[in-house]
């Protein structure tokens, strides 16, 4: 009979438990304050790559007297789409992580309120031209660059490729792997690089790339870890699309040289922005949060926490970054307005090219 109880009890619990849903009582986690219910809470909506040292976040809470709640999910595209469809009832107070490829969508959909935050020195360079720093504050900058496995080329006594043109050179046939522009944000950035470099001729360049047996895979992870020779999974391609900071992560133990290098003539710039959401429950808290993201402490923590460079020019880089992660002097930049106007066409044209 005891065993019978074992059967009946969970069933009874289960059917009784269902009624919980109607009353919205939490079961799986500690109770949580309703959003906007307390003026002492500020909610930051961001993407899944967001990370800052816990100490800094606590420091913000102590200094502002606010409870910071971070809601991080999805990539930059998903984040922007979420913000765009919820602009009537924002899902938080401030947002971080909309990048230059998606900025125009957020601005068009009136996602952000005016900032009223003074931008620190060096930051103007990165504002969205159409916005001028009115609603979107640049927070970090990174570059999507072609990376090469220098060891692989050295072992073969071969000069590694250096430019976009080289990637289409038959001498480097079958060596390049890149994530798809359709499903990956560095992939899209690389498509924009080629648009900036070749103008209307970019489809012809891609045809050359494809003819040179360029491999297109789903995402950065597949490309870097699965197919790149330095990725650890026995990949067979020594040229991969990644970031300017990637070489800092491939310094073998006990060595003072990275086994990979970023090709600085193949880079395009990715800037991430923060802003105050229109209709936020706590706009003042949101403003303080944006100022916090621009503070020297947070800016200095960006390389180690999120693998991106600070936008302020007055903070120091970590040692291994200063040594191994070189920023391109003159990266390709496509105007967000132009991206907004042509993204759809470019993506469709690119899709037709690579899928044939």
354 binds another protein (CB under 8 A): yes
Could you tell me the smallest distance in angstroms from the CB atom of residue 235 to another protein? 9
Between 5 and 24, how does the x/- string for binding to another protein read (CB under 8 A)? -xxx-xx-xxx-xxxxxx-x
Could you tell me the smallest distance in angstroms from the CB atom of residue 123 to another protein? 25
231 binds another protein (CB under 8 A): yes
Q: Which is it for the CA torsion 169, 174, 177, 183, positive or negative? A: positive
The residue within the footprint of another protein, chosen from 63, 155, 169, 233 (CB under 8 A), is 233
Between 198 and 227, how does the x/- string for binding to another protein read (CB under 8 A)? -----------------xxxxxxxx-xxxx
Q: Which residue, 59 or 122, has its beta carbon nearer to another protein?
A: 59
Between 97 and 126, how does the x/- string for binding to another protein read (CB under 8 A)? --------x---------------------
Could you tell me the smallest distance in angstroms from the CB atom of residue 329 to another protein? 23
Q: Which residue, 165 or 218, has its beta carbon nearer to another protein?
A: 218
Contact at 8 Å (CB) between 182 and 347?
A: yes
Of 43-51, 114-122, 164-172, 266-274, the segment contacting another protein by CB under 8 A is 43-51
Could you tell me the smallest distance in angstroms from the CB atom of residue 324 to another protein? 12
By CB under 8 A, the residues from 321 to 350 that bind another protein are 343-344, 347
Q: Which residue, 25 or 125, has its beta carbon nearer to another protein?
A: 25
The residue within the footprint of another protein, chosen from 56, 91, 162, 196 (CB under 8 A), is 91
32 binds another protein (CB under 8 A): yes
Could you tell me the smallest distance in angstroms from the CB atom of residue 304 to another protein? 6
Could you tell me the smallest distance in angstroms from the CB atom of residue 330 to another protein? 24
Q: What is the 3-state secondary structure (H, E, C) of the chain?
A: CHHHHHHHHHHHHHHHHCHHHHHCCCCCCCCCCCCCCCCCEEEEEECCCCCCCHHHHHHHHHHHCCEEEEEECCCHHHHHHHHHHCCCCCCCCEEEEEECCCHHHHHHCCCECCCCCCCCCCCHHHCCCCCCCCCCEEEEEEEEEEEEEHHHHHHCCCCCCCCHHHHCCHHHCCCEEEECCCCCHHHHHHHHHHHHHHHHHHHHHHHHHHHCCCEEECCHHHHHHHHECCCCCCCCECEEEEECCHHHHCCCCCCCCCCEEECCCCCEEEEEEEEEECCCCCHHHHHHHHHHHCCHHHHHHHHHHHCCEECCCCCCCCHHHHHHCCCCCCCECCCHHHHHHHHHHHHHHHHHHHHC
Q: Which is it for the CA torsion 37, 40, 45, 48, positive or negative? A: negative
Q: Which residue, 18 or 121, has its beta carbon nearer to another protein?
A: 18
157 vs 350: CA distance, rounded Å: 34
By CB under 8 A, the residues from 65 to 84 that bind another protein are 70-74, 77-78, 81-82, 84
The residue within the footprint of another protein, chosen from 39, 40, 53, 170 (CB under 8 A), is 53
Distance of CA 182 to the CA centre of its chain: 15
By CB under 8 A, the residues from 239 to 258 that bind another protein are 242-243, 245-246, 249, 253
- Please count the residues of this chain forming the interface with another protein, following the rule CB under 8 A: 80
Could you tell me the smallest distance in angstroms from the CB atom of residue 77 to another protein? 4
Q: Which residue, 116 or 173, has its beta carbon nearer to another protein?
A: 173
């Amino acid at each position: 009979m005891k065993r019978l109880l074992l059967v009946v009890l969970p069933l009874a619990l289960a059917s009784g438990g269902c009624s919980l849903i109607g009353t919205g009582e939490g079961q799986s986690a500690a109770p949580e304050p309703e959003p906007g219910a307390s003026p002492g809470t500020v909610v930051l909506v961001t993407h899944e790559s967001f990370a800052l040292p816990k100490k800094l976040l606590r420091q913000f809470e102590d200094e502002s007297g606010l409870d910071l709640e971070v809601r991080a999910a999805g990539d930059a595209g998903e984040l922007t789409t979420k913000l765009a469809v919820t602009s009537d009832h924002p899902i938080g107070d401030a947002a971080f992580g909309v990048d230059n490829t998606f900025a125009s969508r957020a601005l068009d959909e009136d996602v952000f309120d005016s900032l009223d935050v003074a931008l620190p020195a060096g930051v103007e360079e990165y504002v969205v031209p159409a916005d001028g720093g009115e609603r979107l504050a640049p927070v970090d900058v990174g570059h999507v660059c072609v990376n090469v496995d220098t060891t692989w080329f050295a072992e073969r006594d071969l000069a590694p490729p250096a430019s976009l043109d080289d990637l289409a050179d038959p001498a480097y046939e079958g060596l390049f792997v890149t994530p798809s522009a359709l499903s990956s944000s560095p992939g899209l950035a690389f498509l924009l690089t080629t648009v900036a470099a070749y103008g209307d001729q970019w489809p012809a360049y891609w045809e050359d790339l494809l003819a040179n047996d360029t491999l297109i895979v789903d995402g950065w992870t597949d490309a870097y870890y699965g197919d790149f020779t330095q990725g650890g999974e026995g990949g067979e391609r020594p040229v991969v699309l990644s970031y300017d900071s990637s070489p800092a992560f491939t310094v073998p133990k006990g060595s003072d040289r990275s086994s990979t290098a970023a090709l600085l003539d193949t880079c395009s710039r990715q800037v991430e922005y923060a802003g105050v959401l229109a209709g936020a429950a706590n706009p003042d808290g949101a403003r303080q949060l944006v100022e916090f993201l621009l503070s020297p402490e947070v800016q200095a923590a960006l390389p180690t926490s999120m693998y991106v460079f600070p936008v302020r020019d007055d903070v120091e880089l970590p040692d291994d970054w200063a040594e191994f992660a070189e920023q391109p002097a003159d990266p390709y930049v496509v105007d967000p307005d132009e991206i907004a106007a042509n993204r759809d066409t470019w993506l469709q044209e690119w899709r037709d090219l690579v899928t044939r």
